Amino acid sequence: MNLAEKPPLPRAFWIALAATACFALGLTSMLPILPLFITDELGAAEELIGTSTFLIAVTAAIVRIPGGALSDRYGRRSLMLIGAALGVVASVIYVISPNFAVFIVARLLSGISLALFTTTGKALVADLSPPARRGEALGFSNAAFSIAIIVSPLLGEWLKNEVGFRAVFASSGVLMAATLGITALLPGGKPARATGATASRDIKDTLHERGIWAALFIMIGMGAIMALMFSYFPLLAERKALFTDAPGMISSITIGLGLSIWALTDTLIEPIAGGLSDRTGRQVIAIPGLIVAIGGVIVMSRAHDTLSTYLAVVMLSLGWGTTRGIADVIGQDVLPPMLRGMGAAVLYTSFDLAVGIDAQVLGVLIDGSDYGQFFQTVLAMVIGFSIIGIVLATRLQSHDQRTIEAAYSD
């Protein structure tokens, strides 16, 4: 199918992308400053960096399945609005937090906000995209989140250096409020549901699909890379002195620039990988993505200067964006519309738990300046879980394909 023959993506799809990008900008502008806020501003121990990530991941995991079920029943927009509103409240608490205990309250609210907005947003994008462009559409959706990370780490690090930590949190609240306004422009409505459907039945039907398990294992494998980049990259850069040779013009934003490079690479690769998978198949694209991700972990483990560190970031992002993006599509492919919210919830609940547990485990494996066990464990997680998922994806049929075959049989 050439570009001219592709079915169009509706206006609501682009509004959803704008809301996603704005939400992501507000959420991720805090990422480069959170580890240092915990240790330098609040005076907490380094071990609590992993604890902070673990708690937000567990909170998101607890909320995703109820949120997905509610969005399948009451519509996507309502749950997205609640998620954005909680993001505003969390930002206010970040600004006023005097100690780690109050900070954790804000992180927990951020976890609920993240779970509600992203779970229902993912299902909404699948609802709005034609089957022939679902991989590309979900790639655009993931890229919209990543676009924000191109700018937000630089914004967060600059605001922290020029004004202070709390200015970053205040700007996050403004962006969350803007997300509310954009989300309100989305159409209402809810998917048609079978009579007698219940949340427990939805979970059972979702987990019955082999494609969900394939996507789930791939997501767990990719969770180790997310923990590496977004929980420990700032600490690795500082402790291993990775940027001592950085040019003066970027010396004050090297960590934020690394996250921006990650996001730019991810933004470019996800729609391309998704579009290619629409034409060639999901596994065909996931396998080289996994190989690149493995290479990225190895290069990061050996990085010693600015160039090798940024090369590792590019490789990790290429592999992550391709492989995790394909897992998204596999999970949505096999489900009917009335289960897509639950499907996204199941996948990202597993992903959140994997990131949280990985962050906690990896923190324990850091022994002074020795990161050998740290990187070996990341590599084992990425390879082991992702290969299981890719194998499970063999000869999968999408829900649309099964529906067409059933119609022909009748």
Q: What confidence tier does 31 reach under pLDDT thresholds 50, 70, 90?
A: confident
330 compared with 46, residue with greater pLDDT: 330
pLDDT score of 381 more than 80: yes
Q: Please give the mean pLDDT across all residues of the chain.
A: 86
Q: Averaged over 343-349, what is the pLDDT?
A: 83
What pLDDT does residue 2 have?
45
Average pLDDT over residues 244-261: 85
Q: Note down the domain range covering 318.
A: 7-409
Q: What is the pLDDT of residue 398?
A: 83
- Determine which of 12-26, 189-203, 350-364 has the lowest per-residue pLDDT on average: 189-203
Q: Is residue 370 assigned to a domain?
A: yes
In 3D space, the residue among 271, 217, 220, 214 whose CA is nearest the CA of residue 396 turns out to be: 214
**What HEC string does the chain produce?**
CCHHHCCCCCHHHHHHHHHHHHHHHHHHCCCCCHHHHHHHHCCCCCHHHHHHHHHHHHHHHHHHHHHHHHHHHHCHHHHHHHHHHHHHHHHHHHHHCCCHHHHHHHHHHHHHHHHHHHHHHHHHHHHHCCHHHHHHHHHHHHHHHHHHHHHHHHHHHHHHHHCCHHHHHHHHHHHHHHHHHHHCCCCCCCCCCCCCCCHHHHHHHHHCCHHHHHHHHHHHHHHHHHHHHHHHHHHHHHHCCCCCCCCHHHCCCHHHHHHHHHHHHHHHHHHHHHHHHHHHCHHHHHHHHHHHHHHHHHHHHHCCCHHHHHHHHHHHHHHHHHHHHHHHHHHHHCCCHHHHHHHHHHHHHHHHHHHHHHHHHHHHHCECCECHHHHHHHHHHHHHHHHHHHHHCCCCCCHHHHHHHHHHHC
Model pLDDT for residues 297-345, shown as the tens digit of each residue: 999 999 999 999 999 999 999 999 999 989 988 988 888 888 888 888 8
Does residue 222 fall inside a structural domain?
yes
Q: What does the pLDDT read at residue 166?
A: 87
**Looking at the predicted structure, is the pLDDT value of residue 45 above 50?**
yes
Q: State both tokens at 243.
A: 């940027």
pLDDT digits (tens, 9 = 90+) for 139-173: 888 888 878 777 777 788 788 888 888 888 899 99
What pLDDT is attached to residue 197? 59
Q: Evaluate whether residue 117 is within a structural domain.
A: yes
pLDDT for the residue numbered 193: 56
235, part of any domain: yes
Please give the tally of structural domains in the chain. 1
Stretch 355-365: mean pLDDT:
81
Whether 230 shows a pLDDT value over 60: the answer reads yes
User: Residue 84: what pLDDT?
Assistant: 94
Over pLDDT 70: what percentage of the chain?
A: 94
- Model confidence at 66, in pLDDT bands (50, 70, 90)? confident
Residue 39 has pLDDT above 50, yes or no: yes
Residue 1 lies in a domain: no
- Provide the CATH number for the domain around residue 191: 1.20.1250.20
Residue 2 lies in a domain: no
pLDDT of residue 56: 80
Is it the case that residue 3 has pLDDT exceeding 50? no
Confidence of residue 397 (pLDDT cuts 50, 70, 90): confident
Looking at residue 410, its pLDDT comes to 60
pLDDT score, position 339? 84
How confident is the model at residue 190, as a pLDDT?
A: 67
Q: Of 60-74, 164-178, 256-270, where does the model show the most confidence?
A: 164-178
Provide mean pLDDT across the span 5-14.
83
pTM of the model: 0.74
pLDDT in tens, 130-141: 888 888 888 888
Q: Is the pLDDT of residue 273 over 80?
A: yes
Residue 398 lies in a domain: yes
pLDDT at 368: 67
pLDDT at 5: 64
> How confident is the model over 94-127, as pLDDT tens digits?
999 888 889 999 989 998 998 899 888 888 888 8
